[in-house]
Structure 1
Amino acid sequence: MSTKNLDNTKQSLLKQAGLQIIAGGSAGFVEVCLMHPLDLVKTRLQIQNKINNTASSELYYKGVLDCFRKMLRNEGLFSFWKGIVPPILAETPKRATKFLCFEQYKKIFMFGSDKATPQAYSLAGLGAGATEAVIVNSFEVVKVTLQSNRAKSTEIPSTFSVARNIIKTEGFGLQGLNKGLTATIARNGVFNMIYFGFYHSVKDYFPAYEEPMKEFIRKVGIGFTSGTIASFANIPFDVAKSRIQGPQPVSGQIKYRTTCGTLLTVAREEGFSALYKGLLPKVMRLGPGGAIMLLMYEFSYDYLQQKFL
């Protein structure tokens, strides 16, 4: 290959990477703005410990609707978007990283083949999820801290003051701004392994429609199913992450430290079903959210390719 052709190939790859970053960031921004209230409710359900709360307490949530109702009554309408700044700040690099890494990992696991296998899609998703987790974990710590605050939305501290306080009191390490890192890696890795693996493997089995509306419904259905199955698979790691990153049951004592230790403690003290706390709002968010994100990414990427490649 000539030097000129090599330079053109490099420029083309850089353009593709740039378009993947823009398309992935756009998809993440739209998804988080629409689905954040359900993420907040999921976190509230996951961090509460029935041992330390009575079922009749105003601070204990019996389910999704009960959580929405009590938050609206006690904290106001805008409380449903508590902690949205960290995910907005994180979503562009997070989704950009996810889709960019997925495309690059996919090429690696194709091993020179012209067509990716289901295994290649799954391994690429696993790698992309683990990579994005390292980047966004500190944002997750701040987000969970804000979401667990039960004060009215006008009274809670700002995102940056919460981040400063965590750094000041606990530092940057695995007990501070990066606590719960292994749980985040496990959560994101498992989710994206199934999410991408299922979506890209299954959609080829259902023929595409020429009619735009039918094709849209086909992709929405596959994307929704992908997000739902992935949510069922990774929810225990999500619970562990929320417990580690959220407020500890006893002030001044760290009860939840490691991922495996937290999973065992929650199962032993609250039952195995407690590892699936927050599953309903998670599915309600990541089912349609998964469909929105994949469709937004594919639409944006196709549009940008037509314009710039």
Structure 2
Amino acid sequence: MVKTRLQNQKKDSLGKLQYRGGLDCFRQVVAKEGVRGLYRGIVPNLIGITPEKAIKLAVNDFSREYWAERLSVPEDKLPIKYGMLAGATAGFCQVIATNPMEIVKIQMQLAGSQKLTPNEQRPTAMSIVRSLGLRGLYRGTPATLLRDVPFSIIFFPLNSYIKLQGADEDGKTPFSVVLGAGLVAGVVGASTVTPADVIKTRLQVTRKPGEPVYRGIADCFQQIVRNEGFAALFKGVVPRSLIVAPMFAIALFVYELQQRYLGPSMSELTPLHTPTSSPVLMLNDRK
């Protein structure tokens, strides 16, 4: 909520901003909308975040195992460029779930700050979905890709590197290091791609009369820098980092638990090369 409000705010006719920072935004939301206002948009977020994280983590793992097998190297020795490629693949695939969730969440969070006439009601998740339609739910997808792909390129290799450095003599990573790696990689990744997140937010909101019209990513970038300064591209960087870092740290912690104790690895579940399906072996069997 706070992040979205900060990223979307623009100077008024007097050149002033409504919120002076994250804490001021927090106070104003609570004062005007109550504590419930802080959780506006939580339903689409909860619905979308589960498949998003599942896709991201599973695709990254599968991609790393694929490249490790192709290169005949242990997964923890995978060259960084292939780790980055695996992360990029995961970031690309997750947008299927991310974009609809993000656009509904953003519009619900910003609706709370708008003044309503006596006959108007604040939009619900379903009313936003109906008004946008399937095509509208994927508005701003290039901007979402611009945020999520670089984030994954940064996050996953950095997370793997920190875990590797913190592993014990047996090659196992303590759970404290797993959490720490997720936090550090999350902060670095989230803060680095904040400009893309700001642009995505601006493109996905419903424009009100008098607000700037953005014709795409490049135009949005240029208008923000020209009218608000380069620093405006990093609006909401602190609340975004405070959200993303622990969220990914917890997700990876739980995922690590599952990998270690609740089941086999993906390579055991879905082997990339099944010997019995090899044409050469099948031919030999016939002989």
TM-score w.r.t. length of structure 1: 0.75
Cα shift at 1:54: 5.3
- 1:29 equivalent in structure 2: none
3-state secondary structure, aligned to 2:112 = coil
* Partner deviation per Cα, 1:153-185 (whole Å, 9 max, x = no partner): xx6332111211223xxxx43xx2211100001
1:156 corresponds, among 122, 128, 139, to 122
3-state secondary structure, aligned to 1:148 = helix
Cα shift at 1:118: 2.2
8 Å Cα contact 2:106/2:204 also seen in 1: yes
- 1:228 equivalent in structure 2: 187
Q: Distance in 1 between matches of 2:13 and 2:41?
A: 24
- 1:36 equivalent in structure 2: none
- 1:47 equivalent in structure 2: 8
8 Å Cα contact 2:167/2:174 also seen in 1: no
Larger Rg: 2
Q: Distance in 1 between matches of 2:39 and 2:214?
A: 26
Cα shift at 1:301: 3.0
Q: Distance in 1 between matches of 2:29 and 2:168?
A: 43
User: Identity of aligned pairs, percent?
Assistant: 31
- 2:59 equivalent in structure 1: 101
Cα shift at 1:292: 1.4
* Partner deviation per Cα, 1:176-198 (whole Å, 9 max, x = no partner): 22111000011010111111010
Q: Distance in 2 between matches of 1:53 and 1:88?
A: 38
1:246 aligns with 2:205: yes
- 2:131 equivalent in structure 1: 165
Q: Give the RMSD, CA atoms, in angstroms.
A: 2.6
Deviates more, 1:88-97 or 1:66-75: 88-97
Which ranges of structure 2 fall in alignment gaps of 5 or more residues?
Answer: 115-120, 270-287
Letter in 1 for 2:190: S
3-state secondary structure, aligned to 2:111 = coil
Which ranges of structure 1 fall in alignment gaps of 5 or more residues?
Answer: 1-39
1:255 aligns with 2:221: no
8 Å Cα contact 1:239/1:276 also seen in 2: yes
TM-score w.r.t. length of structure 2: 0.81
2:236 corresponds, among 268, 278, 289, to 278
Q: Distance in 2 between matches of 1:282 and 1:77?
A: 19
8 Å Cα contact 1:106/1:121 also seen in 2: yes
Cα shift at 1:294: 1.2
8 Å Cα contact 1:121/1:201 also seen in 2: no
Structure scoring higher RCO (CA < 8 A, sep ≥ 6) equals 1
2:95 corresponds, among 118, 133, 144, to 133
8 Å Cα contact 1:52/1:249 also seen in 2: no
Q: Distance in 2 between matches of 1:209 and 1:88?
A: 39
1:119 corresponds, among 81, 96, 103, to 81
